[in-house]
Amino acid sequence: MDEAQKSMEEFQISREELLKLWGKVKDQNIEGLSEIESFYAGIIKNHEAMFIKEVDGVANPEAHEYEPEQGVNPYLHILLHGLVETQVIRKQPIEVIQFVNAMKKRDLAEHAIHHLLCAIFFPLILEGRNRGGETDMAKYATLLKQLKTKKPEKIDAFLDKKFHQTIS
């Protein structure tokens, strides 16, 4: 396991922990959180509307199964944000910073940049899982190099073609 993979695992959090954090964010009771809890509470706070709809709006959110055609899986969405935001914070891989800087030059908001990073990274996570291995970080770095020169609105189409699936 390489350093980037280890870094990602350090910042993983369970559905139950995310639900507890959501409750604290809703109650505005985020004092005394650990570093990782504060990190994820910030991401959740930026996605309050999604949590209201996709967590508060379903029966039994602890066990609800999210089907892609039925809406966003808020837990997966937040975990992906956590992974890519960790990459940005740690500047690993370095290509993530180059991509972020290129998108900022195109006047893209930070949150939108993180969503693009999620869209790039997620299919690679799936590929690694389907192979029974880890995410191919070299392939990710190569994709980031390729995509930093593209207009943001062209990236989803590129990914759809490359991975033969819809990424949203």
**In a shared domain, residues 39 and 64:** yes
Is 86 within the bounds of a domain? no
Banded pLDDT at 13 (limits 50, 70, 90): confident
- 166 has a pLDDT exceeding 60: no
Is 106 within the bounds of a domain? yes
Is 8 within the bounds of a domain? yes
**In a shared domain, residues 138 and 99:** yes
Mean pLDDT over residues 27-40, rounded? Answer: 93
**In a shared domain, residues 49 and 114:** no
Kindly give the residue spans of alpha helices, DSSP state H, lying in the chain. Answer: 3-10, 15-26, 35-45, 48-54, 74-90, 94-105, 110-131, 137-147, 152-163
Is 88 within the bounds of a domain? no
Residue 160: predicted pLDDT: 87
Q: Note whether 124 and 95 are within 8 A (CB).
A: no
Question: For residue 118, how many C-alpha atoms fall within 13 Å in the half-sphere facing its CB?
Answer: 17
Residue where a domain terminates, one of 49, 79, 109: 79
**In a shared domain, residues 67 and 43:** yes
Residues 6+ apart with CB under 8 A from 124: 135, 136, 139, 140, 143
Tens-digit pLDDT profile for residues 116-159? 999 999 999 999 999 999 999 999 999 999 999 999 999 988 99
Tens-digit pLDDT profile for residues 59-95? 999 999 998 888 889 999 999 999 999 999 999 999 9
The boundaries of the domain holding residue 12 are 1-79
**In a shared domain, residues 49 and 75:** yes
Residue where a domain terminates, one of 79, 109, 144: 79
pTM of the full structure: 0.86
Banded pLDDT at 8 (limits 50, 70, 90): very low
Tell whether omega for the bond before 152 is within 30 degrees of 0, i.e. cis. Answer: no
**In a shared domain, residues 99 and 154:** yes
**In a shared domain, residues 7 and 62:** yes
Tens-digit pLDDT profile for residues 18-30? 999 999 999 999 9
Which residue, 63, 48, 45, 149, is CA-closest to 106? 149
Residue 140: predicted pLDDT: 97
- 47 has a pLDDT exceeding 90: yes
**In a shared domain, residues 31 and 67:** yes
**In a shared domain, residues 103 and 74:** no
Which residue, 89, 84, 79, is CA-closest to 40? 79
Total domain count, the chain: 2
Residue where a domain terminates, one of 25, 45, 79: 79
